[in-house]
Every structure is written in C-alpha cells, then in structure tokens.
Amino acid sequence: MIQQRQSHHKAIPKRIILVRHGESQGNRDGSAYATTPDYKIPLTPHGIDQAKLTGAQIHHVISDGGRSPNWKVYFYVSPYERTRSTLREIGRSIPRERIIGVREECRVREQDFGNFQEEQRMKAIKETRERFGRFFYRFPEGESAADVYDRVSSFLESLWRDIDMNSGQWSNSST
C-alpha cells in the first residue's frame, strides 16, 4: 500500500504592520502627564491628520495599489485613547467588509512610567534610571523596559496562537 502525504499548508498573514499612534498631547507637551492619566492623553489635530494619512498608506500597501482583490485585515489596539483614535482614523480608509476583527489588547500599551508624572520628579527619576540601566530600572509605581519586554513577548506568543487557530480566517490577510 502506498500512502500519499498530504501537505498541510497553513495560511498566515502576508504582513504584520505595527503603528504606534499619531502625535499626542503628551508628545507635544510633557506636562500633560502631570494632569491627565497616561491612558487618557488624546491625539492632537496633527496626530489625527497623521493617522488619516497612515490609513491611506496602509490601504494602498495591503491592497497592493488596488491590484489585490482578496485582502483582509485584523487589528490589535492598546486601550489608550490616542491609540484607539489612531485606529479609528486608520479604519476610515479600510472598507468594513475587509476587516476580520478588532481586539483591544492591553499588552501592547506604552511603558508605564507611574501615576501623574510631576516634571521635576520625573527628571530626577530618569537620571537615576541612567545610572542603574535603562532596561532593568523600574519606575516607581510603573514598570521597567524588562517588564514591557515580558508582556510584549507574551502578546507575540498569543498572536502566533491566534494565527495558528484561525489559519483559514487569516488567508490573504494583513495584520
């Protein structure tokens, strides 16, 4: 008896595109963190324009300039206001029927530098971080770069599990 091997070709995303966020009020003025929780920092009008432009550019890339008829996208977004606003503007460039899904994912958020950051205190803390080492220094009431690495690594493991479990859904898609 001759047994034929079946090849198991898994469908994986064609691309994974990472977008941080458009310009935020915190990017423009660091003192915003002293009065507004980090997750509530909004985009500036310029940041909204950047997100709109990014959406148009992403649409062009994933549709291969309009030559690719079967593309789809799946979005992961952090729970921060500025990232959700960025996604909202990007999403305006993507036809709804092309979107497989959207998931809020807290593991892809910004590094946590602590609660309501006072400028002088943060300056002293960042100087201390330089002496101890940027990667392992943990901000008071916040996290270290090593902490960020660990949670992002955990997210990437979940991403690959999502791709593996939903391989048919990911056919011809960009993430």
Q: Catalytic positions, please?
A: 21, 110
Sole residue written with tokens 């994912």: 105
Burial of residue 6, with CB atoms counted within 10 A of its CB: 0-12 exposed, 13-18 middle, 19 or more buried: exposed
78 neighbors 102 (Cβ within 8 angstroms): no
- Select from 12, 15, 6 the least CA-distant residue to 164: 12
Helix 45-62, helix 81-91: angle, nearest 10:
50
38 neighbors 79 (Cβ within 8 angstroms): no
What is the identity of the amino acid at 150?
A: D
CA distance 59 to 65: 8
